[in-house]
A and B are shown apart, each in its own frame.
Chain A
Amino acid sequence: MSTGVLGTEKRGIRELGAEEKVGWDEVTRGVVLDSFEGDATDIVHKKAEERNYSDFNSYTATVASWRIIKPVYNRDICIDCQNCWVWCPDTSIISRDKQMLGIDYDHCKGCGVCVEVCPTNPKSLLMYSEATDNDEALAGWPQKEKKEKK
């Protein structure tokens, strides 16, 4: 498990449904769930890696197993336009300081929207089968497509 910005200590640490099934005496009163442990004042100014997520926060779970295809990110071509960031439905594009850093594979479901909205030529994000090695994918990245003359 990677740590730091690209994979914090608490991100995606268990499959949904794999949590311990506690008894009636231990479930939370009123079905209430805390999003964080401890004081979470001003959470809006904290990045994921600075936050103290509680085990109830879905940030700590992974849906990686939903995925059959995955986006692979090519830093060399990316222009940091942030299209993928704004339209990712799974909060899975990791951007810091206006830079695209990579993909959160714990939360990405492989929908492929990021690839569709990527404006570069060739695209900086492409979908590959889940089994494909990322380095292999990058090694075989397609060349710039020539625009057809109208």
Chain B
Amino acid sequence: MAKEFELNEVEVWDGNYAASQALRQAQIDVVAAYPITPSTPIVEGYGAYVANGYVDGEFVMVESEHGAMSGCVGAAAAGGRVATATSSQGFALMVEVLYQASGMRLPIVLTVVNRALASPLNVRGDHSDMYLGRDSGWIQLDAYNPQEAYDLTLCAFRIGEHLDVRLPVMVHQDGFTTSHKAQNVTPLKDDVAYKFVGDYVPVNDMLDFSRPVTHGAQTEEDWHFEHKAKQHKALMDSRTVIDEVLAEFKELTGREYKRVETYYMEDAEVALVVLGSSVETAVIAAEELRAEGIKAGIVSPRCFRPFPYDLVRDALDVPSLKAVCCMDKSAPGGAMGALFNEISAAAYTTESRPLITNYIYGLGGRDFSIEEAKRIFKEQKAHADAGHITTPIQQFSGVRGPKLGFFETRRG
């Protein structure tokens, strides 16, 4: 039996350590992992638990991130709880297997410490890797601080392993701003945490020799589409289970999470849509602006996948709302930012039909300040007052050099 880890009521943990503690408490059967900045401390932390008797499961340090996710798939098909951690290039190397894991309906938990993608090489946080995963068929939850990284990692096992879901789950946190930022974290006791996560229930277990199963069959044009449709439906249907698990977690801890988080939206005139640690920055900016009389609000799709189209629409369907800026922390590669596109699609069906613009910001760990958030809010206020967009629709925040902007509004 694994030793119990003595925890204080309040610990001072960074996001990485918080995630590694959640992995330990879930009593994972196999962790197959490979180190990469900035998620390495998750794996190292777990390694320390292994070395000191806090883990009963196997810890397999493989030769690459592709190997890590491959190992997770093989182990998960063998009927036990599986998790790993990665970032950035490692995440990119895993992508092939991410699609295989979800198509094979294996409830693996992947803690992703978000980091930029090369080239040029960069170890700092942005959302390029998180965005890279957005069509991979995984559930993607986004933590804004160490406490949330801990909480959502515990919830991830419950969600993915739910018998109605059986899909892999990523829990994202921002590289360095969350992963290396120590904050107060209120953990659960080991037994309470494990009780919440629950025993693993094997499905299509390769080690159940009374029922030989074939995993990973090929499907060609006669069958592929039906399987992908079924998988998509499972991902869409997981919304109900996510809500149930988050509600149960609130019962247990008092800490409430929603698939779409909203702050000060009830009477908002202008809003930012942001993800990750920037949410907290934007909230402080909004509070300061409200003192100045600008009714600023924030919307954040904490559940990035399945995309909460209806909840985003509800969050934006505020009669007072005039202008919204979608903040994408990933190089968009010749398009509007992904958040802009997805939020715009949802907003299109609202009564309020706010003006929507797009900022690309924070690439490669560029700081996003409260002042900059306030400036962007104020720019939205200018759009709102003018009744049309007064700037290019896509702009860059915090980049040096001549102003970059793309696409003009047709009005004005």
Contacts and interface: CB of A to CB of B under 8 A. Distances in A.
B22 to A, nearest CB: 26
Contacts of B213: 32-35
B167 to A, nearest CB: 10
Given A36-B211, A41-B209, A29 B233 contact: no
A34 B211 contact: yes
- Interface majority SS on B: helix, strand, loop or mixed? loop
A3 to B, nearest CB: 24
A60 to B, nearest CB: 14
A4 interface: no
Contacts of B214: 32-35, 56
Nearest to A56: B214
Interface stretch (B46-54, B113-121, B223-231, B332-340): B223-231
Contact of B103 (A31, A36, A43): A31
A32 B105 CA distance: 9
B204 interface: yes
A25 B232 CA distance: 12
Contacts of B226: 22-24, 27
Contacts, number: 63
Instruction: Indicate the size class of the contact surface on chain B.
Output: 20 to 34
A93 to B, nearest CB: 23
Given A21-B222, A22-B226, A24-B227, A31 B210 contact: no
B302 interface: no
A34 B234 CA distance: 21
A17 B214 CA distance: 19
A140 interface: no
Contacts of B212: 34-36, 40, 43
Given A17-B222, A21-B222, A29 B230 contact: yes
B222 A31 contact: no
Interface string B2-31: 000000000000000000000000000000
Contacts of A32: 104-105, 204, 213-215, 217
Contact of A30 (B204, B209, B211, B225): B204
B210 A40 contact: yes
A56 B213 CA distance: 10
A33 to B, nearest CB: 4
A39 B210 contact: yes
A56 B106 CA distance: 21
Contact of B223 (A27, A29, A35, A43): A27
A17 B223 CA distance: 11
B412 interface: no
B166 interface: yes
Contacts of A22: 226
Interface in B265-294: none
B230 A25 contact: yes
Given A24-B233, A25-B230, A41-B209, A30 B222 contact: no
B216 interface: yes
B105 A30 contact: yes
Interface string B234-263: 100000000000000000000000000000
B165 to A, nearest CB: 11
B288 to A, nearest CB: 49
Nearest to A23: B226
Interface in A83-142: none
A55 B174 CA distance: 48
A32 B79 CA distance: 14
Interface string B367-403: 0000000000000000000000000000000000000
Given A31-B216, A33-B214, A43-B212, 13 more contacts: A17-B222, A21-B222, A23-B226, A24-B233, A29-B166, A29-B234, A30-B106, A30-B204, A32-B104, A32-B217, A34-B213, A35-B214, A36-B212
Interface of B: 103-106, 166, 204, 209-217, 219, 222-223, 225-227, 229-230, 233-234
- Sorted nearest first, the 10 A-B pairs with minimum C-beta distance are A30-B105, A24-B229, A24-B226, A33-B214, A41-B210, A35-B212, A24-B230, A32-B204, A27-B226, A39-B210
9 contacts: A24-B225, A27-B223, A27-B227, A30-B215, A31-B103, A32-B105, A32-B213, A33-B213, A34-B214
